[in-house]
């Protein structure tokens, strides 16, 4: 019931039981072809084996039931594949899974799934990056309150907020690309990772297998060294954290009392079962839910790393559902935030009204910095702090309070005070920062 909300249809297909079975079968077919290239079997036998390596010919339920006894799904799958091949060619059946171990099939099959998953994630990361870039450009001059500790602090532009999102998303795009050569690596080691069953042909078969599947060949098999898969988990954990940060920003701006930004509207989206007026931030909720769930799953992957000797007991098994769940949640959160960013609605008038709530006090830093050359930092800060206190106590603007302070009017002219007390003039280098983020786009 919840898969449609928390992940995408594409990722559900990539990480489905059928796709997991197909990944293992792709390994078995490629292994047979690789062994044929090494002269360990005829090409006809390899093609006979490969011809039966189609997931739609294997029912999931019996394999799942047999996994309870076997301990992993590769064992009953290989048995079923061998039986099918034997019905076609008894001689070919002798060569099914020759020299490999069940973990070789499972790990390589998972890597094939991860390759498709990374392609899907990169596509949606590009969507999100493009949407953030458009937001940054479109709202470069849209002044709003910058907030620290949930309180108004100094003026910023929405453009620089979007540029911050863009910069983070670009870093995640770089991380995903940088880890691909390390992660997309074939697994073939045999029982204890020495390729012993292949005799002198071990590396020849491994190279041919990697070439057939379009994967990298590792220095040594990695059965008990799980850093590759943990890198996927931690990288996606960081991505989900960034998506959660974006979702937190947008949901806080969408609060009724703030009302500055809203998720795109569509019929029925974010509706309440009882309150007709509600417009709940559904996309943000999905991303924040993922940001709550994924860290614990990443911790499980990290905890599973110290695996025993040449093949692990328990740690490897702990990965089987954990890593796909991380990928599914990351995909769902990413898709939701791309949708939100592409259609984000902004209320410029409300942003300006909220800036005026503090009657100009939000510009206090700019005034203080202008006084520093004549009064020194400590005195300037104290003078402006007193003016802010008076403005709030008297319910007047900061500018009105400042003109009653001789230390200020002796240094700053009326025109200067007007300029310093206009939030639009207090956004610092926002424009330059936006341009820097846009210039560093990952293509």
CA distance 154 to 145: 6
- 393, 417 in Cβ contact below 8 A? no
pLDDT tens for the chain, 443 residues long, are: 888 889 999 999 999 999 999 999 999 999 999 999 999 999 999 999 999 999 999 999 999 999 999 999 999 999 999 999 999 999 999 999 999 999 999 999 999 999 999 999 999 999 999 999 999 999 999 999 999 999 999 999 999 999 999 999 999 999 999 999 999 999 999 999 999 999 999 999 999 999 999 999 999 999 999 999 999 999 999 999 999 999 999 999 999 999 999 999 876 665 555 555 657 889 999 999 999 999 999 999 999 999 999 999 999 999 999 999 999 999 999 999 999 999 999 999 999 999 999 899 999 999 999 999 998 999 999 999 999 999 989 999 999 999 999 988 889 899 999 999 999 999 999 999 999 999 987 66
* Residue found by looking up tokens 């849209």 in the block: 142
**β-bridge partners, 157:** 143
> Are 352 and 143 a contacting pair, CB within 8 Å?
yes
Task: Return the pLDDT at 271.
Answer: 53
Residue 319 C-alpha from the chain's centroid? 19
Query: What local confidence, expressed as pLDDT, does residue 92 receive?
Result: 97
Cβ-in-10-Å burial (0-12, 13-18, 19+) of 316 comes to buried
Give the separation between CA 62 and CA 60, rounded to whole angstroms: 6
Query: By the 8 A CB rule, do 222 and 185 touch?
Result: yes
CA proximity to 108, closest of 227, 202, 22, 232: 22
Instruction: Please give the C-alpha separations between residue 430 and each of 158, 168, 204, 249, in angstroms, as whole numbers.
Output: 9, 16, 57, 18
**Measured over all CA atoms, what is the biggest interatomic distance in the chain, rounded to whole angstroms?**
102
Q: How far is CA 168 from the centre of its chain?
A: 10
φ/ψ of residue 20, rounded to 5: -65, -40
Strands (E), 314-434: 345-346
Parallel, antiparallel, or unpaired for β 345-346 and 151-157? unpaired
Q: What b/e sequence results for 107-145 when a residue is b if at least 16 CB atoms lie within 10 Å of its CB, and e otherwise?
A: bbbbbbbbbbbbebbbebbbbbbbbbbebbeebbebbbb
Cα–Cα distance for residue pair 307/225, rounded to 1 Å: 7
Going by C-alpha positions, the residue among 281, 278, 245 that lies closest to residue 263 is 281
The label of the residue with tokens 């995640």 reads: 172
Token pair for residue 233?
């988990």
Q: How many CB atoms lie within 10 A of CB 174?
A: 12
Which residues are CB-contacts of 24 (< 8 A; sequence separation ≥ 6)?
Answer: 73, 74, 77, 105, 106, 108, 109
Q: 257: exposed, middle or buried (C-beta count within 10 Å: 0-12, 13-18, 19+)? A: exposed
Give start and end residues of each alpha helix (H) in 395-425: 398-402, 406-409, 414-420
pLDDT at 253: 97
Helix (H, G, I), strand (E, B) or coil at 73: coil
Do residues 217 and 207 lie in contact, with contact meaning Cβ atoms separated by under 8 Å?
Answer: yes
Question: Torsions phi, psi of 237, nearest 5?
Answer: -60, -45
What predicted TM-score, i.e. pTM, was given to this entire model?
0.93
- Residue in the block written with tokens 């991505």: 239
* Rounded Cα gap, residues 399 and 420, in angstroms: 9
* Cα distance between residue 6 and residue 360, in whole Å: 43
Active-site positions?
272, 311
With CA atoms as reference, report the closest residue to 343 among 290, 282, 291, 273. Answer: 282
Structural domains of the chain sorted by starting position, each given as residue range(s) with its CATH number in brackets: 101-349 (1.20.200.10), 361-420 (1.10.40.30)
C-alpha–C-alpha distance, residues 47 and 360, integer Å: 77
Q: How much is the pLDDT for 277?
A: 61
The residues pairing with 142 across neighbouring beta strands, listed in sequence order, are none
- Structure token digits, residue 110: 């998972």
Task: Please report how the helices 74-88 and 102-138 are oriented relative to each other, as an axis angle in degrees rounded to 10.
Answer: 110
């Amino acid at each position: 019931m919840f898969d449609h909300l928390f992940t995408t249809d594409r990722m559900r297909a990539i990480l489905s039981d059928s796709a997991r079975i197909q990944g293992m079968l792709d390994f078995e077919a490629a292994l047979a072809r690789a062994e044929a290239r090494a002269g360990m079997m005829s090409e006809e036998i390899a093609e006979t084996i490969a011809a039966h390596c189609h997931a739609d010919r294997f029912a999931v339920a019996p394999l799942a039931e047999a996994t309870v006894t076997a301990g992993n799904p590769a064992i009953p799958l290989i048995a079923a594949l061998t039986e099918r091949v034997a019905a076609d060619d008894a001689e070919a059946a002798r060569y099914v899974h020759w020299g490999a171990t069940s973990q070789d099939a499972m790990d390589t099959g998972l890597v094939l799934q991860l390759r498709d998953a990374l392609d899907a994630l990169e596509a949606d990361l590009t969507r999100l990056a493009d949407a953030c870039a458009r937001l940054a450009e479109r709202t470069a001059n849209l002044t709003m309150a910058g907030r620290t500790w949930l309180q108004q602090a100094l003026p910023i532009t929405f453009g620089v907020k979007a540029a911050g999102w863009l910069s983070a998303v670009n870093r995640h795009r770089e991380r995903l690309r940088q880890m691909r050569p390390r992660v997309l690596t074939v697994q073939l080691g045999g029982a204890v990772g020495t390729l012993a069953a292949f005799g002198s042909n071990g590396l020849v078969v491994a190279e041919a297998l990697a070439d057939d599947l379009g994967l990298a060949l590792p220095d040594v098999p990695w059965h008990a060294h799980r850093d590759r898969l943990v890198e996927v988990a931690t990288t996606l954990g960081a991505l989900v954290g960034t998506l959660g940060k974006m979702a937190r920003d947008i949901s806080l701006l969408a609060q009724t009392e703030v009302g500055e930004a809203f998720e795109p509207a569509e019929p029925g989206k974010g509706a309440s079962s009882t309150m007709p007026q509600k417009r709940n931030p559904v996309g943000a909720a999905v991303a924040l839910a993922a940001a709550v769930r994924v860290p614990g799953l990443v911790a499980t992957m990290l905890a599973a790393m110290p695996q025993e000797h040449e093949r692990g007991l328990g740690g490897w098994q702990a990965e089987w559902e954990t890593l796909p769940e991380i990928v599914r949640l990351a995909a769902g959160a990413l898709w939701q935030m791309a949708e939100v960013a592409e259609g984000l609605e902004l209320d410029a008038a409300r942003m300006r009204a909220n800036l005026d709530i503090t009657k100009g006090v939000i510009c206090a830093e700019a005034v203080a910095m202008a006084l520093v050359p004549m009064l020194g930092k400590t005195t300037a800060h104290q003078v402006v702090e007193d003016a802010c206190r008076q403005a709030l106590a008297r319910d007047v603007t900061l500018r009105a309070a400042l003109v009653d302070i001789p230390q200020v009017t002796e240094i700053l002219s009326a025109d200067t005070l007007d300029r310093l007390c206009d939030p639009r003039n207090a956004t610092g280098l926002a424009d330059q920062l936006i341009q820097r983020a846009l210039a560093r786009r990952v293509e």
